[in-house]
Amino acid sequence: MKGMNNLLLEVNLNEKNFKDLRISDEILENFIGGRGLGVKIIAERLPTKIEPLAPENLLIFATGPFSGTTIPTNGRFSLVTKSPLTNGIFYSNSGGYFGVFMKKCGYDGIVIEGALTNPGYIVLDDTGTPKIKDASNIWTLNTEDTLKQLRLIEGQNIHVLMIGPAGENLVKISSIMNDSARAFGRGGVGAVMGSKKLKAIVVKRTNGKVKVHDNELLKKYVKVAQDKIKVVPITRSTLPKFGTSALVKVINILGMLPINNFQKGYDERTYQVSGEEINAKLTQEQEGCYACPIRCGRLTKAGNMRGKGPEYESVWALGPNLGIFDLITITQANYLCNMYGIDTISCGGSIACGMELQQKGYIKNDSLKFGKSTSLKNLVKMITYKEGIGSELSEGAALLAKKHNSNETAMHVKGLELPAYDPRGAIGHALGYATSNRGGCHLTGYLASLEIFAVPKKIDRFTIAGKPDLLALKQNQKAIEDSLVICTFAGWALGLDYYARFLKAITGIDYDVIQLTEIGERIYTLERIFNLNEGLNKSTDTLPSRFLSNPLKDGASKGHVVPLELMLDQYYNVRGWDSNGIPTKELLKKLKINYENA
Amino acid sequence: MSVDESIYKIFKKIGKHLVHHGYNTSHSGNISIRSGGKIIIKRRAAMLSDLEPEDLVVCDLKEEDSGSLLASTELGVHRAIYLETDAMAVIHAHNPYCVALSLVENEITCIDAEGFALYKKIPIIDVEIPAGAYYTSIEVPKMLKNYPFVIVRGHGIFAKGMTLEDALQYVTGAEQSARIRYLTLITGKSLLRDYSKEKDFSLW
C-alpha cells in the first residue's frame, strides 16, 4: 500500500536474529497501521494466558501511512503488547521523532519477541542490517544518562526508545521513554521491555522518503489543514501557550479535578499548580514533535533541576491527587519519573491509594500522608528500586489495595489507574473509563470533548441519552487515529473528514469517513475479543464503587454519581455485543474478523 | 422507551430555531437523534416550531417498526443515514438560498470566511423524485460519508452531526455560505479574491 513499506522488522531476542516480515496490502487496507496493525498481529500470534513478563509476550512498535509525510502532527506512533498491569491488550502512543525515522529506515514497525540473556540494545539504520549490541555498560543508568551514553557510542543523529531502572526492575507502572522525555506510558510497558533485557532501541536519522500516490493533492489538503489548525483557538494559542496544563483550572472549576485520591473534586489551592503558574515560574522554551505546528511540549526549570513537562495529568497525579500543591516538588517528581522511566499517572495513583490506606489505618507509614510533599521524590525512587513501601506501590494501586483488603481505595479500571477527571462530573466520560479496552484511560473515547469542551457541540454532562452511541463512535474514531497515526490534539481542529482525504491522496484508495470508522470498529472489537479470552469481561467493565454510590460533596459536580448500569446495557447494544458484552457472530462477520479464538 | 426531558428540550429548541429563522415552513422538515440503538424523530405533521413531548417518536434503528406509523415521512432517509454513516443527529430543512442555488449550480463552493474555514463546499445531488424518503434514502447517505451535509436539488438540505446542535450549525452555516454566494453573484461583479479557487475546494 502506498504510504507504507509493507515491511516490519521481526526481532527474536532468544535467537538474537532478525527477519523481514512482509505485510500484505490486504492487511494494511483493513487495519491501516499503528495500533490497528499491532492489534492484528498480537491477536493472531500471541497464545492466550501468556504471562505478560514472559519472553513469549510481543512488543510491537508500528507507524502508519501518515508517518513521515507532511501531514501535521504525524510524528506519533503506536505500541501494542499485553500489559502486566491489566493482563489485557495494551496500546500506547508516543510522539517525537523515533517513529518517523524508523519508517524512513524502511520499516513500518518492529515486532519483538523472546528475551536476551544479558542486557542489550537494538540499532536500526537504512542499510538493512540491524544489530543487537551489548548494553551491560548502560544497564542501570537512568534515561537521561542512557541517552547521553548512546549518543556518545552511536552518534548524535539518533533517536532512542529506552527503559530506565524502573523497567529493568519490572516495576508494573513503568514506561518506555522516547528520547529525553516523551513516553509510551501506562500499562507497565517498560516492564515488558525490561523482562526482555532490552535496554534500548536506537534508530539513526536517514533521508528516506515515504511514497505517496498523489503528492500534489496531498499538498493541497495539507495546506487547508494547516490553515485550520492556525485558526482554531485551542490549536492556535491555548495548547502552544500553556500545553496540556491549561486544563488544571478548567477541570477544577467543573468540580472534577480529583483531590486526595478522588475523595474530592475541587480545591481552591489548585491555582498554585495551574498552566498560568507553570508558564510564569517554570517554562523556559516550547518544543514540539516531528511536523507539529501545535508544539505543546515544554522545557522547564524547577529549582536546581531541568527537564520537560509537567503535563496536565502529571501535575494532577503528583500534585492535587496527593494533596500536594507545591509546584517545584511536583515538577521535580515528574522529572524523576521520566528519568527512572515511570508512568506519572500510575505513580500518582498508586501513591494516592497508599495515602488513603494510611489515612484509613490500613497501613502505617508516615511518608504516605496526603499533603506531605517532602516524601514525594523519595517515594518515586523507592518505587523504582522496589525499596520498602515502594515495593508494594510498584505493583500498582489495584494490587496494593487488594493486599490490604481495601479494594475500594484503588482508583482503577481493569488494573490501570484512573486519570485526572472525576467520572462523577461527566458520565459519558465515565462510561469511557469503564469500557476502555486498555482499562482506566481518558484517551480511548474522550467524551469529555463534548461534555466539557463542547467540541463539536456541548452535551449535558450528567444526561445519559445518546452517550453510549457517542462513546462507541468516538472509541472507533480514536482507534483509527492511532492507526493512521496522527496526534489526538490535531482532532481539536481536524477530524476524520480530513484524514480520509489525506489517506486517499497517500494511498490512491478511495477511503471515506465511514470506511475509516468501520476499520476503527474492527480494531476495537478485535481488542475486545482478545481481552475476553484473557478473562476481562463484563465484570471488569466497571468503576470503583465510590463513583457509583458516593456523590461528591462540594464543587460544581456536587451530588452526582455515575449511572453505569443504565448506560452499559445500552452501550453493549449499540456496539452489537450481547448482554454479556460479547461481540455477536453477526458483528464479527460484518467486520470480517476471522480470529480463531473469537 | 420514554424520551428524556433533556432530549425534548433540545428538540423543541432546534425545531423553533429552524422555523423562526426561515429554514422550514410551519410543519415541514424533520429532525432526529440516535440514542441507545433507537432513533428519536419528530412526529409526522407535528408543528416543528412548537413541539410537544408526544411529538417525539422512538423508532427502531435497524428496521421498520410500528413507531413509523407516527414518525416523520422521511424516517427512511434518517434511518439510512444512521445505518450507513457516523451520524448521531440528523436535520432536514428547506434552506431557501441553498435550494435556490441548487437549481443553477452543481455544487456550492464557499467564498465567505466562515464557509471556507469550516465547510469548503456544499455538495448537491439529483434524485429521481426529490421529496419523500425512497430515492433520497439511497443517494443522501452516500454523500454524507464524506460531507457533513448535502443539498438535494430543488428540495432542501440534509445535515448530520454528533449532536442536534452540531447538525444545526451545518444547516445554518450552509445557508449563510449560500446566501453570501447568492448575494455576491447577483452584483454581477467578479470576485477580487476567490479563496475557494486558490485552495481548490472543488477537490474537497
> Based on the structure, what is the number of domains in chain B?
1
Torsion of Cα atoms, B161 then B163 then B168 then B173, to 10°: -50
3 state DSSP class of A194: helix
By Cβ distance, the residue of A465, A573, A574 closest to B6 is A465
pLDDT digits (tens, 9 = 90+) for A170-192: 999 999 999 988 999 999 999 99
* Cβ atoms of residues A7 and A108 within 8 Å: yes
B200 interfaces chain A, CB cutoff of 8 Å? yes
Q: State residue B117's pLDDT score.
A: 86
Does the beta-carbon distance from A457 to B88 stay under 8 Å? no
| A20 shares contact with chain B (CB less than 8 Å) | no
pLDDT at A413: 98
pLDDT at A450: 93
Whole-angstrom Cα distance, residue A472 to residue A478?
10
Largest CA distance in chain A: 66
CB of B169 less than 8 A from some CB of A:
yes
Collect contacts of A277-283 with beta carbons under 8 A, ≥24 apart.
A277/A327, A278/A242, A278/A243, A278/A245, A278/A310, A278/A315, A278/A327, A278/A331, A279/A241, A279/A242, A281/A327, A282/A327, A282/A331
Predicted TM-score (pTM) of the model is 0.93
Burial class (CB in 10 A: 0-12, 13-18, 19+), A368: buried
Residue of A217, A221, A224 to mutate, testing the B interface (most B Cβ within 10 Å of its Cβ): A224
pLDDT of B179 reads 97
- Determine the Cα–Cα distance for residues A209 and B147; give it in Å rounded to an integer: 31
All residues of chain A having their beta carbon less than 8 Å from the beta carbon of residue B161 are 456-457
A514 touches chain B (CB under 8 A): yes
Higher pLDDT, A230 or A347: A347
How many angstroms separate the CA atoms of B145 and A66, rounded? 21
Q: Dig out the grid coordinates for A191 from the structure.
A: 516492564
> In this predicted model, what pLDDT tens digit does every residue of A510-524 receive, in sequence order?
999 999 999 999 999
pLDDT score for A241: 87
pLDDT of residue B201: 82
pLDDT at residue B22 in the model: 94
Q: In Å, how far from its chain's centre is CA B14?
A: 12
**Confidence band for A406, pLDDT divided at 50, 70 and 90:** very high
Give, rounded to a whole angstrom, the gap between the first and last alpha carbons of chain A. Answer: 28
Helix (H) or strand (E) holding A524: helix A513-533
Confidence of residue A526 (pLDDT cuts 50, 70, 90): very high
Measured distance CA(A334)–CA(A342) in Å, rounded: 9
* Inter-residue contact A57 to A195 (CB < 8 Å): yes
pLDDT at residue B197, rounded to an integer: 84
- Residues 6 or more apart whose Cβ sits within 8 Å of residue A160: A98, A146, A147, A150, A178, A179, A200, A201, A202, A203
Cβ of residue B184 closer than 8 Å to a chain A Cβ: no
What's the mean pLDDT in A259-268?
Answer: 97
Query: Length of chain A in residues, anyone?
Result: 598
**Nearest partner of A520 among A597, A575, A459, judged by Cα:** A575
Determine, for residues A220 and B145 on separate chains, whether the beta-carbon distance falls below 8 Å. no
A460 reaches B (C-beta below 8 A) = yes
Task: Please tell me the predicted confidence (pLDDT) of residue B102.
Answer: 97
- Residues 6 or more apart from A69 whose CB is under 8 A from it? A3, A210, A212, A218, A291, A502, A506
Max Cα distance, chain B (Å): 56
Taking CA–CA distances from B36, the nearest residue in chain A reads A570
Region of B16 on the Ramachandran plot (φ > 0 left; ψ -120 to 50 alpha; else beta):
alpha
Span A433-465, pLDDT tens digits: 999 999 999 999 999 999 999 888 889 999 998
A265 three-class SS:
coil
- The number of residues making up chain B comes to 204
Rounded to an integer, what distance in angstroms lies between the CA atom of residue A574 and that of residue A587?
11
List the grid coordinates of A186.
Answer: 501506562
Contact assignment for B117 to A227 by CB distance below 8 Å: yes
CATH number at residue B117: 3.40.225.10
Does B4 lie at the interface with A, CB-CB under 8 angstroms? yes
Strand partners, A139: none
pLDDT at A542: 98
Q: B203: which chain A residues are within 8 Å (Cβ-Cβ)?
A: 217, 220
pLDDT in tens, A537-571: 999 999 999 999 999 999 999 999 999 999 999 99
- Interface pTM, i.e. ipTM: 0.80
- The predicted structure's pLDDT at residue A598: 60
Structural domain boundaries enclosing B124: 5-203
Assign B149 to helix, strand or coil. Answer: strand
Interchain CB distance below 8 Å, A514 and B86: yes
In angstroms, how far is the first alpha carbon of chain B from the final one? 41
Task: Determine how β-strand A120-124 pairs with β-strand A198-204.
Answer: parallel
pLDDT computed for residue B98 by the predictor = 98
Under 8 Å between Cβ of A64 and A483: yes
Residue A497 with chain B: CB contacts under 8 Å: 146-148
Q: Give yes or no for A289 touching B (CB within 8 A).
A: no
Residues in contact with A504: Cβ distance below 8 Å, sequence separation at least 6, in sequence order: A217, A510, A511
Non-local (6+) Cβ contacts of B200 within 8 A are A220
* pLDDT at res. B132: 67
Sign of the C-alpha dihedral computed for residues B116, A234, A97 and A100 taken in this order? negative
pLDDT band at A596 (very low <50, low <70, confident <90, very high): low
β-pairing, A120-124 vs A131-134, is: antiparallel
Contact of B37 with chain A, judged by CB distance below 8 Å, is answered with yes
Contact A570 B85 (CB under 8 A): no
Q: Which three cell numbers stand for residue A392?
A: 508494594
- Tell me what pLDDT residue B1 has: 55
Helices (H) then strands (E): counts for chain B: 7, 8
8 Å CB contact of B163 and A224: no
Question: Each residue of A44-53: pLDDT tens digit?
Answer: 999 999 999 9
With 70 as the cut, is the pLDDT of residue A54 above it?
A: yes
What is the pLDDT averaged over residues A144-159? 97
Measure the CA–CA gap between A212 and A503, rounded to whole angstroms: 9
Round to whole Å and give the CA distance between B91 and B23. 11
In which residue are the cell numbers 482503577 written? A412
Cβ B36–A500 below 8 Å, yes or no?
Answer: no
Does the distance separating the beta carbons of B161 and A460 come in below 8 Å? Answer: no
Is the CB of B149 inside 8 Å of chain A's CB atoms?
no
Least confident of A64-68, A324-328, A453-457, B159-163: A453-457
A518 phi and psi angles, rounded to 5 deg: -70, -35
Query: Given pLDDT bands bounded at 50, 70 and 90, which one contains residue B129?
Result: confident
**pLDDT for A412 beyond 90:** yes
Alpha helices in A411-512 (DSSP H): 427-435, 448-451, 467-484, 496-507
Gap between the Cα atoms of A68 and A478, Å rounded? 20
Q: How far from A119 is each of A153, A192, A360, A527, CA to CA, in Å?
A: 16, 14, 42, 31
Q: What residue spans in chain A does CATH classification 3.60.9.10 cover?
A: 7-204
pLDDT higher than 80, residue A355: yes
Cβ within 8 Å, pair B163-A456: yes
pLDDT at A321 over 90: yes
Considering CB atoms only, which of B4, B37, B203 is closest to A217? B203
Q: What is the CA radius of gyration of chain A?
A: 22
DSSP state of A113: E
Report the 10 Å Cβ neighbour count for A515.
Answer: 18
Upper half-sphere CA count for residue B23 (Cβ side, 13 Å): 29
**What pLDDT, on a 0 to 100 scale, did the predictor assign at position B18?**
96
Give the chain A residue nearest B197 (alpha carbons). Answer: A220
Nearest to A356 by CA among A496, A458, A288, A258: A258
Q: Which neighbouring-strand residues pair with B151?
A: B124, B157
Query: In the CATH hierarchy, which top-level class contains the domain A243-416?
Result: mainly alpha
**pLDDT for residue A597 is more than 80:** no
Q: What is the pLDDT of residues A88-98, one digit of tens each?
A: 999 999 999 99
The stretch B151-175 carries a mean pLDDT of 96
B7 — contact with chain A (CB < 8 Å)?
A: yes
- Which CATH architecture is the domain A7-204 placed in? 4-Layer Sandwich (3.60)
- CB contact (8 A) between residue B6 and residue A574: no
Provide mean pLDDT across the span A308-314: 95
Q: Minimal Cα–Cα distance from A471 to chain B, Å?
A: 11
Percent of chain B's residues with pLDDT above 70: 98
Going by DSSP bridges, is the β-strand pair A59-62/A77-82 parallel, antiparallel, or unpaired?
A: antiparallel
C-alpha cell at A18: 532478525
Cβ contact, residue pair B35, A469, below 8 Å: yes
pLDDT digits (tens, 9 = 90+) for A186-233: 999 999 999 999 999 999 999 999 999 999 999 999 999 999 999 888
Tell the burial category of A364 from Cβ atoms under 10 Å away from its Cβ (0-12, 13-18, 19+).
exposed
Q: How far apart are CA A393 and CA A354, in angstroms?
A: 7
Instruction: With beta carbons under 8 A apart, name residues in chain A contacting B146.
Output: 497, 500-501, 512-513
For residue A513, say if its preceding peptide bond is cis, omega within 30 degrees of 0.
Answer: no
Q: Which of A325, A324, A342, A323 is nearest to A334 (CA)?
A: A342
> Reduced to 3 states, what is the DSSP secondary structure of residue B115?
helix
In this prediction, residue B26 carries a pLDDT of 86
Q: Find the helix or strand (DSSP H, E) in which A399 lies.
A: helix A397-403
Class (C level, CATH) for A423-590: mainly alpha
A461, exposed or middle or buried, with CB in 10 Å at 0-12, 13-18, 19+?
Answer: buried
What separation in angstroms does the CA of B197 have from each of A2, B109, B192, B203?
A: 28, 9, 12, 10
Helix/strand/coil for A151: helix
CB contact under 8 A, B88 and A460: no
